Structure formats: C-alpha cells, structure tokens
Chains A and B, each alone.
Chain A
Amino acid sequence: MIQSDLIRGHLDTIVLKLIMEKDRYGYEIASCIKERTKGAFLLKEATLYSALNRLEKKDVITSYVGKKTHGKKRRYYKITALGKAYFKEKYSEWNTFKNILETLLEDDHERN
C-alpha cells in the first residue's frame, strides 16, 4: 500500500486520464483506480470527489446527468478541450519527473 501523499499531486492527472478514456461517474472512477492498481493505491474517496469538484470549477471537466443501462440516473464527468490540454501538460511534466528520478535513483546509469 502506497502513501497517498506521494500520488496526491498527480491525482488530477489520473482522474483526467480515466475520464478521457470515456465519460465516467464518481464511484466508477474510484473503483476503476482500485481495480487497476489491484488495491495498491488506497485513495480516500473524499479526496477524489473533492478533486472532481475542484476540476469542474476550473472548467477542466464538465458533468451531465445520464442514464445507466439499468435505469438509475448517474452524474457523468466529461473532459473538456481545456482539460485535454491540461492533461497533456501534466503528463509531460510527469514524464520529466519520472526521468529525473530514474536517472538519479537507478544504479545502472553511466558514471562519468
């Protein structure tokens, strides 16, 4: 189980990625994160819903009420054009960060 503090800064990026794949509703995002990480990243749902609220205020995502196959209403979140741009930026930021950590922490880099 990983400390959520480490990932928290990237929660927005994770949420945007999941919504970019397809429109999802709140709990679907939570269960999707749990499923894909096989429970390794235990995200407090309160934190996730708060992020959704914040992202919606920033116009990075929008929401609409849609129907699920079995009839019950759900509020789906959808990424906006601004959101896609934001995700791209965040993703490249993450890549840079990952490369830096790899360079610094791995043993097998060339020592000059």
Chain B
Amino acid sequence: MKEIDNFVKHTFKHVPKEERKEIIKQVTEILNEKVDDLMEKGYSEQDAIDKTVLEFGTAEDYYDAQDFTFHKPKTIARYRNDFLFSLFGALIIIAMLVFTDLYYTRQTIWFVLPTLAVLWWPLATLYRFLNKKDQEG
C-alpha cells in the first residue's frame, strides 16, 4: 500500500542509512498486515490506513525501545540555511571592505586579502552542505 510505504519512509527518514532499510522493511510489513486485518474486520481501506498510521506513534517511540539512543541529526535544509547565512554575511562584509577601500584609500587596493579570508566562511559551510547532500543522495 502506497500510503503506508510513504508514511513509514517519512517517519524513519532520519535514521542512519545502515539501519534505515531494515527498519522500514520490518515496519512496513507489520503495518500492511494490520491494514489487512482491519479490513477483514470491516474497515474500509482508507479508514484502516488512517487508524494504522494514527496508532503507530512516532519514530522516537521506536528508538526509545532500542538499546541505542538516536539523536535527530541536522537536516539537509539546515545545512543549506547555514550556507546561505554565511554567504550573505560574507557578501555584506566584503561589500563594506570594498566600499571602505574605494572611498577612503583609492590609491591602494587592499580589500582583496581580507576578502579572501572572509570567503573561507561560506566555503566551509558549502563544503559541509555538499558533504551532507552526498550522504543523503
């Protein structure tokens, strides 16, 4: 059942890759059995799916019963936001440097060096973002 598949995949999307596949397989199987069970009892398919999804609980309930504790990692969107933040921050700083340089000390072009230094900030966050994207993909 597509809805159950999607629900389970969505619920466990933050689980580390090694375990995700196995957990999704197990839970999807059990939930599909439950939907079949409920339908045998007279529920319509949609009602059976809704009830199953509703009664399942959350991914945290699942982890609680495992021996390991699982911390929700930063999502890819968070990494992207970090990168965008650093990018805009760096651009503002660089713009100020360029302005100061051209306005007050037109004869010497010195803004390039601090600009290079400031660029490391967005570069570092871009690196982490791409790394994360690679892992998720």
Contacts and interface: CB of A to CB of B under 8 A. Distances in A.
Interface of A: 8, 11, 25-28, 30-31, 44-54, 70, 72, 74-75
A11 B56 CA distance: 17
Contacts of A45: 55-57
Contacts of A26: 29-30, 33-34
Nearest to B12: A46
A17 B122 CA distance: 57
Given A70-B40, A75-B29, A46 B57 contact: yes
Contacts of B57: 44-47
Nearest to A54: B66
B62 interface: yes
Contacts of A8: 64-65
Contact of A25 (B33, B56, B64, B66): B33
Contacts of A48: 65
A72 B30 CA distance: 12
Contacts of A28: 37
B37 A27 contact: yes
Contacts of B63: 50
Given A26-B30, A45-B55, A50 B36 contact: no
B134 interface: no
Contacts of A30: 34
A49 B55 CA distance: 12
A94 B125 CA distance: 52
Interface in B61-85: 61-67
Given A26-B34, A27-B34, A44-B61, A49 B67 contact: no
